[in-house]
Homo-oligomer: A and B are copies of this chain.
């Protein structure tokens, strides 16, 4: 479906506006779809993102700054996301002994187990969208998005 139809636009839009709307709308579709996957696990998309970053640390603790700069939304409030994960025992949080300003955050086994359970569903989610394009188109879309953003 064309973006004009998705937002029931009455006037024709120029290509610059269509692309902006298309990126914003596609993000919404992806996110809504992903939220459905996460619902049974009672974690939000941003909380999942933090867990994924922590797993990527492979046992090394992450501090708040590190998590922040790896987040997609650079203005996410990492403190409060970690608070929520802590309540669910999916992470641990301790003051760094070398630098008492820093906080060491680690994913727990329970956190790792949840990610392992979600993993195949994430792959399916990614395929659901990417299957609609052939591999050449996928590469092209990725290149164009990066060039568009600069």
For A10, what are the chain B residues with a Cβ–Cβ distance below 8 Å? 56
Say yes or no: is A150 at the interface (Cβ < 8 Å to chain B).
yes
* In the complex, chain B residues whose CB is within 8 Å of the CB of A123: 16
- In the assembled complex, the Cα of A133 lies from the Cα of B15 at a distance in Å of 11
Given A56-B11, A70-B7, A130-B16, A146 contacting B23 (CB threshold 8 A): no
Q: For residue A28, which residue of chain B has the nearest CB?
A: B73
Give min CB distance, A45 to chain B, whole Å. Answer: 9
Q: CB distance B145 to A22 under 8 Å?
A: yes
Interface residues in chain A, defined as those with a beta carbon under 8 Å from any beta carbon in chain B: 1-3, 7-11, 15-32, 56, 69-75, 123, 125-127, 129-130, 132-133, 135, 137-142, 144-150
